[in-house]
Amino acid sequence: MHLRSLRSVRFCAVAAICGVITLPVFAQAKPTSAELERSVHLRESWEYLTREIAWPASWLPDGSAFTYRKTVEGGFRFETVDRKTLAKTPAFDQVRLAHSLSEVTGEKVDALHLPFSEFDYADDGRAISFSIHYNGWRCTLTDYQCKEQTYPGRPRGFGVVRDLSVPADNHPRISPDGHWEAFVEDNNLVVRKVDDGGVVRLSQDGSKGNFYDPETIAWSPDSRHLMIYRVKPGFARYVLKVEAAPDDQLQPVLRRQLYPKPGDAIDQEQPVLFDVAKQSQIDIDPSLFPNPYQLSAPRWRKDGNSVAFDYVKRGFGQARIISVNADTGKAHAAVTETAKTFVYADRRFSHDVNDMGKEIVWASERDGWNHLYLINGRNGRVKNQITKGHWVVRKVVKIDDEKRQIWFAASGMNPGEDPYFRHYYRVDFDGRNLIALTPKRADHIVRFSPDMSYYVDNYSRVDLPTVSELHRSSDGHLIATITKGDITRLTAAGFRSPEVFKAKGRDGKTDIWGLVVRPTDYDPSHKYPVIENIYAGPHDSFVPKRFWPFGYHSGGDKVIGMQALADLGFIVVQIDGMGTANRSKAFQDVAWKNLQDSGFPDRILWHRALAAKDPSYDISRVGIYGASAGGQSTLNALLFYPDFYKVGVAMAGCYDNRMDKISWNEQWLGWPVDDSYSAASGVDNAARLQGDLFMIVGGQDSNVDPASTMQVVDALVKADKDFDLLVVPGGEHTVGRSTGPIDYVTRRLSEFFIGHLQK
């Protein structure tokens, strides 16, 4: 019998003394050291028990075949399928590729565990490109030479402050007709004739404090004009971190990172238009793009008559496409998007139909849902709404200007289905002839052939192992099933799919969706403490919808990590409350200037609804854990909702948004910095702490300033609050989740919950 299945029964020995005969009390036996060890290593024990679980496909450039990664004995193998014959062959020599990567990186790379799951073909299929830890790599498939991709140019802190300690990429930009080359000299724009080397200085007003940036030079297709940005530098804030225990030496090292924070002065870019023949200069009137947070690179229309750039206003209340007449320099707003709360800058989409500026396909939430619109690019007015309904466009895959058709992914269109499941569709520009391409009730990732004639549909659910199918695009006809996941051995080892559960949110109408992971030896007659795995960042939704349960993501452990914790005697859940993305605009707007909310009113109602249905779900003992924004939410659970949440493990948290990166925080809390930053601050509200808190931080976190954690520590000490702290020297933002001492951090997290919830 499993140790936790044993029950200790305590009876009153003398009824006269006790007054009444008491009912049995069931006490929970804590896990043994062997059980804890099994839990810590559960992921590596179970990860390679599946077969034929395939990842989304990558097509060869000529569309003759496609490639994907799939699970095999001992790891993963890349396989290529011929589109016509359906014959399967190894995609490349994984042993040679692993050997090359090992030599270049200095780290042992195993052939069945290549450090990437998807790639893109390059050089007409003779090379592949992929990412390892956010860095780009390229490997040839002829001689198996691998190189890390380096990109010339001057880095920018979160895209808004240039690192002036690094020289700009000032190589000459050749005009399309080949007659001129443009570059910057003494902070001014010059052009040089290719044939005789004659130099023409086009600007005179550049200076060190207001310089022309050569990396923004954009020639018109007819070589008559060019646009460039003149830049007033912002404030170069550097975060300083002491690496106390470097690997290669005894003494500490001081590291620094360009790291703009909310409210900092950012680079100010002024678009300037030049006529090369006339040697004339026009500063574009900034009245249409006041106080820019960011301008995109200039892009010329194919006729050379106009140039456009994207504008996001600081504070994220407005986004525009600005179109500039090449001859006059007169600007107009081709599209304007304004919101009372925020325009989600990272989800903007636009497409210039025929690359002429007359019509623009634009994604907008103006009717309360993310949809596509056809905009008159001359006056900014809506010609027609292309998609409409209480569902959201998630991604535009392809636009065919000639056929006036759009292929896109959307979620929430199918009644009665999980509203986060992605499906793929085709629709005409006028909104007619909407065709569904992926009818199966699951989450889909589709990869189309280069000519859009075929597609590989990779679909799954948390309770449906991945299936990959080849289809014909014209009518969705199924050509062949390519792979079908087999989890027989995983199930035999004890894996059970998570339970999907939904309950009404704070408005009494909106469904809140989550997952429930129970112990492998779950006993419905037993009472289990509850642990919530939280990530509540407004930029996405986070509850897994696909089958692969083993990996990690920015919000923390996936299903197997939750299973490992559950097997120690807990029920572990994950929920997407209001304030997250991929639902309606109103659903996400809950987070606006309100990050301390984290969807907790919805989450607590969800917990109570499950407890009302399931007597084993003990909401008198609720813990919570999360990383990054999830770490902030974990701390806030104990600060603002201590009547419900009793124990928290907060990792790498952005506990005070004024200490965190400028981009993410001004997007959700706005600009200028106001009281909403303080209202969500774990520093300013530290004295409210109740319950048991354990904070974990990597000393070299490059995503969230680790000083954010230490400022909470300082405030808690001053408030005379007890807490636990683990600082991992040299640890990065993902310490304990995908890099660093994973087993150690997992054990400490698990022991903390055992010690404080299993009393």
* Whether residue 422 is found in the same domain as residue 310: no
* Whether residue 91 is found in the same domain as residue 180: no
* Whether residue 143 is found in the same domain as residue 172: no
- C-alpha–C-alpha distance, residues 137 and 143, integer Å: 15
- CATH code: domain of residue 133: 2.120.10.30
Per-residue model confidence as pLDDT tens digits over 658-715: 999 999 999 999 999 999 999 999 999 999 999 999 999 999 999 999 999 999 999 9
pTM of whole model > 0.85?
A: yes
Instruction: Say which residues have a Cβ less than 8 Å from residue 469's Cβ, sequence separation at least 6.
Output: 456, 457, 459, 478, 479, 480, 481, 482
* Whether residue 575 is found in the same domain as residue 705: yes
- Cα distances (angstroms) measured from residue 194 to each of 199, 225, 342: 10, 16, 47
Give the percent of the chain with pLDDT over 70. Answer: 95
Average of per-residue pLDDT across 197-207: 97
- In degrees, rounded to 5, the angle at the alpha carbon of residue 263 between the alpha carbons of residues 734 and 682 is 50
Three-class SS of residue 751? helix
- pLDDT at 352 exceeding the cut of 90: yes
Per-residue model confidence as pLDDT tens digits over 22-56: 333 345 689 999 999 999 999 989 999 999 999 99
Tokens 């000519």 map to which residue?
A: 451
> How many domains, the chain?
4
Per-residue model confidence as pLDDT tens digits over 722-731: 999 999 999 9
pLDDT recorded at residue 2: 35
pLDDT recorded at residue 17: 29
- pLDDT at 18 exceeding the cut of 70: no
Average of per-residue pLDDT across 497-516: 98
- Cα distances (angstroms) measured from residue 596 to each of 141, 144, 343, 400, 745: 50, 50, 20, 43, 26
- CATH code: domain of residue 286: 2.140.10.30
Residue type, 299: R
* Whether residue 334 is found in the same domain as residue 357: no
* Whether residue 27 is found in the same domain as residue 144: no
3 touches 31 (CB < 8 A): yes
Per-residue model confidence as pLDDT tens digits over 285-306: 999 999 999 999 999 999 999 9
Domain limit, last residue, from 101, 122, 150: 150
How many C-beta atoms surround the C-beta of residue 169 within 10 A?
13
Domain limit, last residue, from 347, 382, 406: 347
* Whether residue 551 is found in the same domain as residue 421: no
pLDDT recorded at residue 737: 72
* Whether residue 579 is found in the same domain as residue 626: yes
- pLDDT at 650 exceeding the cut of 70: yes
Domain that holds residue 115: 51-150
* Whether residue 679 is found in the same domain as residue 735: yes
* Whether residue 466 is found in the same domain as residue 495: no
Bridge partners for 174 per DSSP: 181
- CATH code: domain of residue 571: 3.40.50.1820
* Whether residue 342 is found in the same domain as residue 354: no
Bridge partners for 468 per DSSP: 458, 483
pLDDT confidence of 209, banded at 50, 70, 90?
very high
* Whether residue 331 is found in the same domain as residue 372: no
Domain limit, last residue, from 285, 320, 347: 347
